[in-house]
Amino acid sequence: MNLAFQKFFRDLKQGKVSYPQFKKKRDNAGSYYIGGDQVVLSDTNKNSKKYKKIITECNAQYLKVPNLGYVKLSERLRFSGKINSVTISQNGDKYYASFSISIAKENYQPQPKTKLGLGIDVGLKSFVSLSNGLEIKSPKPLAKLAHKLKTKSRQLSKKQHPKTKGDKTKKSANYLKASLKLAKLHRRIANIRNDFSHKLSSSIIKQADYICLEDLNVKGMMKNHKLAKSIADVSLYEFRRQLEYKAKYNGKEIIFADRFYPSSKTCSQCGSIKKELKLSERIYCCEDCGVKIDRDYNASINLLRLIEKQIGQVLPEFTPMDLTAMQSDLAINRVVTSKVEVGIQQKSHL
């Protein structure tokens, strides 16, 4: 609050009015912060006067929330260390406690080194095409649940509620119920997307030491109104963000190709570059050497070659054993993969 008033007086001298405003309250959403010095955890529910005599469930843990008391956590903290802060947030009918904890380096076990490299070509038709021949499609939860989302949004708009800024109409009980149902559906879509991104990024970090991606201008791509919805549904930037921080934690290296690097137009066999390549052309046909190869797979191989050029050494190839290990890891997490052959895509097991 003090910083907000300092900004207010500073702006006032320049003729601007920026009086501090409290955070707006919205239906089924909100958050607040608890400092690390105020965080108290307990293995017993101290709200009860007889808590010393109560035998609690195994692995139960309680968090003391100011002005509320002890609240049971759905799971115990998985890390031990100094708690810097806790942010409690609401999403629909769910409440989340996000802990910021400082832990020692020796308590974190990074993924083992493999000395393998992966070129990753991201897109809309196939979310990722890997240089080891695997192709993985996004679940696209927004596209699958779009009809249900429209239906619930339409139902919500017909309930009694203020429709303009100055409207003093009170929100009806049915409006609050409908808004909760809509919030649940939005949460479901976000959870499916995040679950897929985390499982895929973790598997890639586990299998490869060197990773190469294109430095895509996602913000600029979102300005294309024909593709914006599809781009948002696959969450390209979030996938990149997860890869970056997981690589940093595990001592892996990520290389970004220049935005104008012609990974799709370059032949992975002879290195010749096509002048034009339409988006509708899914098979890359080289006019010089005559090779025919899947367009996205061709781009991923070129990105792998860029890794070798950057680090100055030839990387070992993925063996059938390495490929099987990655497929098994993804299959355990229910991520569907397919194997790309030269110009042909053959489906493999789940």
214 as an active site residue: the answer is yes
Contact 302, 268 (CB under 8 A): yes
121 as an active site residue: the answer is yes
Amino acid (one-letter) located at 155: Q
Measure Cα distances from 338 to 14, 159, 196, 215, 265 in Å: 60, 46, 16, 25, 23
Contact 212, 117 (CB under 8 A): yes
Residue among 209, 214, 233, 294 flagged as catalytic:
214
Residue among 135, 209, 233, 296 flagged as catalytic:
296
Contact 303, 334 (CB under 8 A): no
User: Helices (DSSP H) in 72-172: which residue ranges?
Assistant: 141-144, 146-157
Q: Kindly calculate the radius of gyration of the chain based on its CA atoms and give it in whole angstroms.
A: 26
215 as an active site residue: the answer is no
Contacts of 227 (CB under 8 A, 6+ apart): 124, 221
DSSP class of residue 43?
A: S
Sign of CA dihedral 139, 145, 147, 150: negative
Tokens (6 digits) for 193: 């997307």
Residue among 121, 135, 209, 233 flagged as catalytic:
121
Contact 80, 102 (CB under 8 A): no
Tokens (6 digits) for 166: 């100055």
Contact 29, 187 (CB under 8 A): no
Rounded to an integer, what distance in angstroms lies between the CA atom of residue 45 and that of residue 53? 11
Say how many CA atoms lie within 13 Å of 190 toward its Cβ: 8
DSSP codes, 304-322: HHHHHHHHTSPPPPPPHHH
The H-or-E segment that residue 73 falls in is none
Active centre residues (catalytic): 121, 214, 296
